[in-house]
A and B are shown apart, each in its own frame.
Chain A
């Protein structure tokens, strides 16, 4: 086994000069939590695609209705009723303004301009209505999710941080609330307050904050006995300081992830409510009420359901992809 090697002698070695100072040096650039998460998110292609579509749809929802010369309720039953979508350059996809029998609806009505998403039975431009509806759906979802977040974080945080009897009572209250079917709760709520954005938002918040409260409670329970919190307490920190400096920053990642999963849920729930007729009252539109209108004319004018359904689906998928990506980015250990 032994290899005789006469070539190497002691005087070929010399001591390496490493001072203690040198060995403690960290050469890598300092990367904070948020930057690290962003770098990891950027590597996740699905999440980036999701983010791209969300940004695109948000921009369109803000800009598109403003740029069109039609309002969401500009009717014209004489000249431009039920025009099929016509998008220049995409005629080969079927967006050529011809109905199922091959008749050009634009020629029949003598309309020169293009309606990209077509018009409905009242002659309203669906392009404008879809984007305005997206805007309303997004606003409802966003406000409802932020409301969920505020109530859920406060409730879950207090419950976990003070613990004991407080926690016990607060958790029993949550269990009772969670036991009531939320659809019943929401429908009663809307019947009581009447339709409209405010009541939908309130109805969504009333049943939506429980999930957030549970997640925050779990996280705070885990964190509050960590040694860094004990260390802060031995230094004499107030509860307020511990909550804001130690607990919230460490739960923030989880809060954002939960928020990103809540938003598509809220969008879908709003669409569902509008679809069963409890949503935004006419003439205003949301993705749900547009879908409902399209559904009624599905066999005659299928394009009316196509666009709102498409936007709704893309929005939901994108939010879910982004939320998935954020979860992996904030907490790489959770990835399987």
Chain B
């Protein structure tokens, strides 16, 4: 399973991406503030963080549902936010697809399953005839584990898991290379979550898909992701290979998050020490100066309030933004 990392091709590159929403006169909600990361071709990149930390906004900005305030997103070498002709945009829309969080809101209640799945086929004129369109829809339905009799039914006749599979079929209809999964399993119950995750993994193996998997379920992210990024209040705090991140978390926030995962081992659980964070997440309209996490960080010192931490590669493929590991500021901490 080990591939040569040096030869891996960066499929998605996000450089200094910012997305600010205007919320009032001279007030901006900094949903995503200077985030950089990259995703290799064919891997699953997990993006975790608390509610409201900007995970979904990052996903939606990457796919151009929102226009970026600053920064750039390169997908397969193409700048997403640059001015584009209709044809170039359509090309991008074929390459990148999205699976949404709420299976009850993501399907148009007035359309049959067939029309929902065929939407991409219609928009991109993929099918030559009505028959080919139908055949494609049936094939997609079977790919996601539904059967062709379901094609003429309406979304309200399906369960949450089935609806999510319809949403996946819709995304697959245009043969994408990169799929952004925006919390695709958060709204499902646990037994169905496994079904959907297994389906996603199967599809990745068969079609060589690249995933950006947004979630807040840490153990599920560990299971599905090759690399994981942790976000806090619009900033990326740490990115590393999944195992490396879980075994060796560097950032205090990541450490606190990981300490919250229960382990099915009573002996271990008895001695497990949770790092309890004090206070609440500050408002993204008025974020703290310097390091965003300093108000809740157990190690915070004055320098954290003055200087924004640099985004540095501490170990091979392990990026972190924290003064604790910055040679210049290390001396300020007595750990």
Residues of A at the B interface (CB closer than 8 Å) are 20-21, 24-26, 28, 30-33, 226-228, 230-238, 241, 245-246, 249-250
Contacts and interface: CB of A to CB of B under 8 A. Distances in A.
Nearest to B106: A227
Contact of A33 (B60, B109, B146, B150): B109
Contact of B162 (A24, A32, A246): A24
A226 B109 CA distance: 11
A242 to B, nearest CB: 10
Given A231-B100, A235-B97, A21 B120 contact: no
Contacts of A230: 60, 65, 98, 100
A32 B152 CA distance: 10
A251 to B, nearest CB: 10
Interface in B156-176: 157-158, 162, 167, 170-171, 174
Contacts of B145: 20, 24
Given A24-B147, A33-B109, A228-B105, A235 B153 contact: no
A33 B110 contact: yes
B93 A235 contact: yes
Contacts of B149: 25-26
A235 B150 contact: no
B180 to A, nearest CB: 8
B89 interface: yes
A228 B107 contact: yes
Given A28-B157, A30-B152, 14 more contacts: A24-B145, A24-B162, A31-B154, A227-B101, A227-B106, A230-B60, A230-B65, A231-B100, A232-B108, A235-B93, A245-B108, A245-B111, A249-B108, A249-B110
Contacts of B8: none
Interface in B97-132: 97-98, 100-102, 105-111, 119-120, 123-124
8 contacts: A227-B106, A228-B107, A230-B98, A230-B100, A231-B98, A231-B170, A235-B120, A236-B124
B154 A24 contact: no
Nearest to B152: A30
A236 B89 contact: yes
A234 B60 CA distance: 9
A71 B58 CA distance: 73
Interface residues of B, number: 39
Residue among A228, A232, A233 with max Cβ neighbours from chain B (10 Å): A228
Nearest to A30: B153
B94 interface: yes
A244 to B, nearest CB: 12
B90 interface: yes
Interface of B: 60, 63, 65, 89-90, 93-94, 96-98, 100-102, 105-111, 119-120, 123-124, 145-147, 149-150, 152-154, 157-158, 162, 167, 170-171, 174
A21 B142 CA distance: 11
A250 B119 CA distance: 17
Contact of A233 (B65, B94, B105, B150): B65
Contacts of A228: 105-108
B154 A234 contact: no
A26 B110 contact: no
Contact of A30 (B60, B110, B119, B157): B157
Q: 10 tightest CB-CB pairs across the interface, nearest first?
A: A236-B93, A227-B106, A249-B110, A227-B100, A228-B108, A235-B120, A227-B105, A234-B98, A236-B90, A30-B153
B150 A26 contact: yes
A277 to B, nearest CB: 47
A226 B155 CA distance: 15
A226 B150 contact: no
A249 B154 CA distance: 14
Contacts of A33: 109-110, 154
Contacts of B124: 235-236
B101 to A, nearest CB: 7
Contacts of B63: 234
Contacts of A227: 100-102, 105-106
Contacts of A245: 108, 111, 119
Chain B CB within 10 A, most for which of A20, A236, A249 = A236
